[in-house]
Structure 1
Amino acid sequence: MSTPVIELRDVHRRYDGSSEGPPALRQVSLTVRPGEAVAVLGPSGSGKSTLLNLVAGLDRPDTGTVTVNGVRVDALGETASARYRRSQIGMVFQFFNLLDDLTVTDNVLLPAQLAGMARGKAGRRAAELLETLGIDRHAHAYPGRLSGGERQRVAVARALMNRPPLLLADEPTGALDTASGEDVSRLLADLNADGQTIVVVTHDLALAQSCTTRTIRLLDGRIVADQGTGDIEGSFAREGAR
């Protein structure tokens, strides 16, 4: 069996390290294997963002271990965490996080520049991604001139620039209209069909159904369901998750 891309073991994390109040995550164990497309669903305060931040190396558990592609993320220092994010993961955010004073191409090139990729190689990779994602005609445009769906495609291209084993998407359609959201959902499904491992953190069941095949449901910091995306619709709807 293949080595997991993500492996969490007995992860416990309190908000801001406080010993008071309910924890953000309670003894969570989770394995994601290469090529999976997994949705993490749950209402606000369920622990979704904390889980994402731990996998991204932006936070550390109070107890337990976080391993991504063989790297013990919870044991990394600040500099090593930055290197890890550049090489091991791509991140897509709800509000794109593009730099408005840079062209589309320059936004996509940023991760390669930070990683020290040769200029020619980086340029070819950026051009390839823009063409594959259908936004090459906007290569020299600035993000402010693009639609929301187009900007999210640029963000996906940037996230994939360094060929990361893992793509993390945090509410990737949350700031988009319905048509643009469906477009981005199809894009994520296509990327997964090509073998990209994806974890989508969202409260939107429709997004999960359209681009993932496995759903992790969090409630009060615990995993309360781990099953095929199609199987969770009834229980999710009955309990009124947002």
Structure 2
Amino acid sequence: MDHVIELEGVVKRHDSAGAPVLGPLTLSVAKGEALAVTGPSGSGKSTLLNLVAGLDRPTDGTVFVAGRRIDRLSEYSLARFRRAHIGMAFQFFHLLDDLTVTDNIQLPAQLTGTGRRAAAARAGELMQMLGIHKHARAYPGRLSGGERQRVGIARALINRPALLLADEPTGALDTASGHDVRDLLRELHRGGQTIVLVTHDLALAKACASRTVHLVDGHVALDTHAQAVR
């Protein structure tokens, strides 16, 4: 079985004399799997996401993503790897307000050296798929929360990443918009996208994920597989 994520003996301490905030943790995520990471505040969810994204480094252990050991890469190599292989969708979108929807989506492709024509074609494909093509020339401030999250997800997918990381993607949305994003994540999973979803929302985890890992005090307290996402 191909694994997109492989963590082996991972430990993260913020204070060398203190208890770990995460681990020891050994965890793998298969290609095409949708994993939800749940747990109370302070359980290590964000730390785990940051390690997988290469935004932080473990104190001990190894982190492999898309077949590459990332915990030993330089900051420059990490940034290049992240742009090419990892897409990230955030709770508060992090869109650039002075760029149009199209330009926001295309930005990561341009940073990896993709030609303007190819980037525009891919952005158009994603906007059509996510139902935001009519907002192509709009600015983020004119969109609803749900529409902005769709723009954020399109931006995360522009480089066809091996892995999509979603950090509380419905946390800042109203109920209707949250349901729209939930349905979108389900569609992406059905299409074969590997997803790691960090959420406090157990209903979202149940609806979107094929597997749920529940963290307590930096350790896996529960690891369950769901029935196929419909």
> For the superposition of Structure 1 and Structure 2, which TM-score range results when normalised by the shorter chain?
over 0.9
Relative to its length, the structure with more helix (as a share) is 1
Residue 229 (structure 1) shift: 4.3
Task: Work out whether 1:167 is the aligned partner of 2:151.
Answer: no
For residues 208 and 21 of structure 1, the distance between their equivalents in structure 2, rounded to whole angstroms, comes to 31
- Of the candidates 60, 64, 80, which is equivalent to residue 83 of structure 1? 80
- Of the candidates 54, 59, 62, which is equivalent to residue 57 of structure 1? 54
Q: Which 5+ residue runs of structure 2 have no aligned equivalent?
A: none
Residue by residue over 1:192-229, the C-alpha shift from the partner in whole angstroms, topping out at 9 and shown as x without a partner, is 10000000011110110111120001000001111124
Residue by residue over 1:56-83, the C-alpha shift from the partner in whole angstroms, topping out at 9 and shown as x without a partner, is 0000001000000111010111000000
Residue 95 of structure 1: aligned partner: 92
Task: Work out whether 1:10 is the aligned partner of 2:9.
Answer: yes
TM-score for both structures, normalised by structure 1: 0.92
Task: Work out whether 1:227 is the aligned partner of 2:224.
Answer: yes
Asked whether the equivalents of residues 6 and 32 of structure 1 are also in contact (C-alpha less than 8 Å), the reply is: yes
Residue by residue over 1:128-187, the C-alpha shift from the partner in whole angstroms, topping out at 9 and shown as x without a partner, is 000000000000000000000000000000000000010000000000001100100000
Report the 3-state secondary structure (helix = DSSP H, G, I; strand = E; otherwise coil) of the residue aligned with 1:52: helix
Asked whether the equivalents of residues 66 and 73 of structure 1 are also in contact (C-alpha less than 8 Å), the reply is: yes
Report the 3-state secondary structure (helix = DSSP H, G, I; strand = E; otherwise coil) of the residue aligned with 2:3: coil
Report the 3-state secondary structure (helix = DSSP H, G, I; strand = E; otherwise coil) of the residue aligned with 1:116: coil
Aligned length, in residue pairs:
227
For residues 143 and 149 of structure 1, the distance between their equivalents in structure 2, rounded to whole angstroms, comes to 11
Residue 237 of structure 1: aligned partner: none
Task: Work out whether 1:187 is the aligned partner of 2:189.
Answer: no
Task: Work out whether 1:23 is the aligned partner of 2:31.
Answer: no
Q: Provide the identity percentage.
A: 65
Amino acid at match of 2:8: R
Pairing 1:204-219 to 2, within 5 Å after superposition: 204-219=201-216
Structure 1 stretches of 4+ with a deviation exceeding 4 A read none
Supply the RMSD in Å over aligned alpha carbons: 0.9
Task: Work out whether 1:155 is the aligned partner of 2:152.
Answer: yes
Amino acid at match of 1:42: G
Q: Which 5+ residue runs of structure 1 have no aligned equivalent?
A: 231-242
Amino acid at match of 1:14: R
Residue 36 of structure 1: aligned partner: 33
Report the 3-state secondary structure (helix = DSSP H, G, I; strand = E; otherwise coil) of the residue aligned with 2:96: coil
For residues 61 and 19 of structure 2, the distance between their equivalents in structure 1, rounded to whole angstroms, comes to 17
Asked whether the equivalents of residues 208 and 229 of structure 1 are also in contact (C-alpha less than 8 Å), the reply is: no
For residues 58 and 187 of structure 1, the distance between their equivalents in structure 2, rounded to whole angstroms, comes to 26
Amino acid at match of 1:4: H
Residue by residue over 1:101-135, the C-alpha shift from the partner in whole angstroms, topping out at 9 and shown as x without a partner, is 00000000000110000111111000000000000
- Of the candidates 94, 109, 133, which is equivalent to residue 106 of structure 2? 109
Amino acid at match of 1:33: A
TM-score for both structures, normalised by structure 2: 0.97
Residue by residue over 1:34-93, the C-alpha shift from the partner in whole angstroms, topping out at 9 and shown as x without a partner, is 100000000000000000000000000010000001110101110000001101100000
For residues 42 and 205 of structure 1, the distance between their equivalents in structure 2, rounded to whole angstroms, comes to 9
For residues 146 and 163 of structure 2, the distance between their equivalents in structure 1, rounded to whole angstroms, comes to 21
- Of the candidates 134, 138, 143, which is equivalent to residue 137 of structure 1? 134
